[in-house]
Chain A
Amino acid sequence: MAEKGKQKIPRQAMPEQDPKVRAHNFDEVPYGYDEKLAQLEAQRCMQCKKPQCVKGCPVEVEIPQFIKFIVEGDFAAAARQLKNKNSLPAVCGRVCPQENQCESTCILGKKAEPVAIGRLERFAADYERNHNLVTIPEMAPATGKRVAVVGSGPASLTLAGDLIKKGHEVIIYEALHKPGGVLVYGIPEFRLPKAIVAAEVDYLQKMGVKIETDVVVGKTVTIDELLEDHDAVFLGVGAGLPLFLNLPGENLCGIYSANEYLTRSNLMKAYKFPEYDTPIALGKNVAVIGAGNVAMDSARTALRLGAETVKIVYRRSRAEMPARAEEVHHAEEEGVQFELLTNPVRFIGNEDGWVTGMECIRMELGEPDESGRRRPIPIEGSNFTLDCDTVIVALGTRANPLIPNTTPDLKLNRRGYIEADPETGKTSKEGVYAGGDIVTGSATVILAMGAGRKAANAIHEYLMSK
Chain B
Amino acid sequence: MYKIVDKKVMAEGTVCQLEVEAARVARKAKPGQFIVLRVDEKGERIPLTMAKQDLEKGTITIIFQVVGKTTAHLGTLEPGDSLADVIGPLGMPTHIKKYDGPVICVGGGTGVAVLYPITRGYKEAGNEVIGIIGARTKDLLILEEEMKGVTDDLRVTTDDGSYGHHGFVTDVLKQILEERKDVKMVVGIGPVPMMKFVCKTTEPFNVPTTVSLNPIMVDATGMCGACRVTVGGKTRFVCVDGPEFDGHQVDFDELTKRLRMYVEEEKKSYELFKQKHA
Contacts and interface: CB of A to CB of B under 8 A. Distances in A.
A322 interface: no
Interface residues of B, number: 41
B240 interface: yes
Interface string A192-228: 0000000000000000000001111001110000000
Interface string A256-297: 110110011000110001111111010000000000000000
A268 B258 contact: no
Contact of B219 (A176, A219, A253): A176
A221 B265 CA distance: 35
B126 interface: no
Given A251-B230, A251-B235, A251-B258, A277 B269 contact: yes
A231 interface: no
A268 B228 contact: no
Interface string B20-59: 0000110010000000001000111100000000000000
Contact of A221 (B24, B87, B219, B226): B24
B24 to A, nearest CB: 5
Contacts of B84: 177
Contacts of B265: 273-274, 279
A241 B223 CA distance: 5
A220 B89 contact: yes
A172 to B, nearest CB: 15
A250 B234 CA distance: 11
B257 A352 contact: yes
A177 B235 contact: no
A256 B223 CA distance: 12
Given A213-B85, A277-B269, A260 B229 contact: no
A253 B261 contact: yes
A279 B174 CA distance: 40
B22 to A, nearest CB: 9
A167 interface: no
B34 to A, nearest CB: 11
Interface in A19-76: none
A366 interface: no
Contacts of B266: 279
A129 to B, nearest CB: 23
A431 interface: no
Interface string A88-110: 00000000000000000000000
Contacts of A246: 235
A260 B226 contact: yes
Contact of B86 (A214, A257, A268): A214
B221 interface: yes
A240 B228 contact: no
B218 interface: yes
A424 to B, nearest CB: 28
Interface in B90-144: 90
Contacts of B45: 177, 268, 278
Contacts of A220: 24-25, 28, 87-89
A185 to B, nearest CB: 8
Main secondary structure of the interface of A (DSSP, over half): loop
Q: Which of B229, B261, B266 has the most CB of A within 10 A?
A: B261
A55 B254 CA distance: 53
A402 interface: yes
B157 interface: no
Interface residues of A, number: 40
Contacts of B44: 268, 277-278
A257 B237 CA distance: 12
B24 A259 contact: no
A276 B235 CA distance: 30
Nearest to B271: A274
A244 interface: yes
B222 interface: yes
B272 interface: yes
B92 to A, nearest CB: 10
Main secondary structure of the interface of B (DSSP, over half): mixed
Given A177-B84, A215-B24, A220-B28, A402 B221 contact: yes
B176 interface: no
Contacts, number: 110
B129 to A, nearest CB: 28
A232 B46 CA distance: 33
Contact of A353 (B43, B87, B229, B257): B257
Contacts of B85: 177, 213-214
A400 interface: yes
B223 A400 contact: yes
A177 B222 contact: no
B269 A259 contact: no
A268 B257 contact: no
Given A214-B85, A242-B223, A278-B44, A251 B218 contact: no
B181 interface: no
Nearest to A216: B221
Contacts of A268: 44-45, 218
Interface string B65-83: 0000110000000000000
Given A220-B28, A251-B228, A402 B240 contact: yes
Interface in B207-232: 218-219, 221-226, 228-230
A260 B224 contact: yes
Given A279-B266, A352-B257, A353-B257, A216 B223 contact: no
Interface string B167-203: 0000000000000000000000000000000000000
B109 to A, nearest CB: 23
B258 to A, nearest CB: 6
A400 B229 contact: no
B38 A177 contact: yes
Contacts of A400: 221-223
B268 interface: yes
Nearest to A259: B224
B207 to A, nearest CB: 28
A216 B90 contact: yes
Interface string A426-454: 00000000000000000000000000000
A388 to B, nearest CB: 16
Contacts of A241: 222-223
19 contacts: A177-B85, A214-B87, A216-B90, A219-B88, A220-B28, A220-B89, A241-B223, A242-B224, A244-B228, A256-B225, A260-B226, A268-B44, A274-B269, A275-B42, A276-B42, A277-B43, A278-B218, A279-B262, A352-B260
Q: Nearest 10 A-B pairs (CB), nearest first?
A: A353-B257, A279-B265, A260-B224, A277-B44, A257-B225, A240-B223, A253-B261, A279-B262, A214-B87, A177-B85
Interface of B: 24-25, 28, 38, 42-45, 69-70, 84-90, 218-219, 221-226, 228-230, 235, 240, 254, 257-258, 260-262, 265-266, 268-269, 272
